[in-house]
Amino acid sequence: MSVRSGASLAQALDVKSKLEQLTREARQSTERARELRERLREATANVDSLVGEARSTLKRAVALLESEGLRGQTSGASPRVNHAKSPRDVTPRDDGHATAKHRTRE
């Protein structure tokens, strides 16, 4: 019977060791999840900030175009500008905004 109880004790110690290992791994995984969650929050805040900056820049660009009278223009570049590149043609889209595309030189 002592062999059996020795085997049972060894098995119990093995189970205890395995349980402690799993507990450590679970704690490490929980900590890693917290770190990743924080990094995700920071990345989301950075993206939100960049989107805000892009919107602000776009609004300023539209305001500048409107003040110059260029928004929605259907011909090439402004006559006061001498481009080295080919002029761009601005074509209205279905939603009222303009899309620029390059014209080929003839």
DSSP structure string for 44-62: HHHHHHHHHHHHHHHHHHH
d(CA 36, CA 79): 54
d(CA 17, CA 11): 10
- The better pLDDT of the pair 89, 40 is held by 40
Tell me: the pLDDT tens digits for 19-60?
Answer: 999 999 999 999 999 999 999 999 999 999 999 999 999 999
- The better pLDDT of the pair 103, 55 is held by 55
Q: Is the pLDDT of residue 17 over 60?
A: yes
In 3D space, the residue among 42, 94, 6 whose CA is nearest the CA of residue 34 turns out to be 42
> What global pTM score does this model have?
0.47
Predicted local distance difference test score (pLDDT) of residue 82? 52
- For the chain, the domains span 74-106
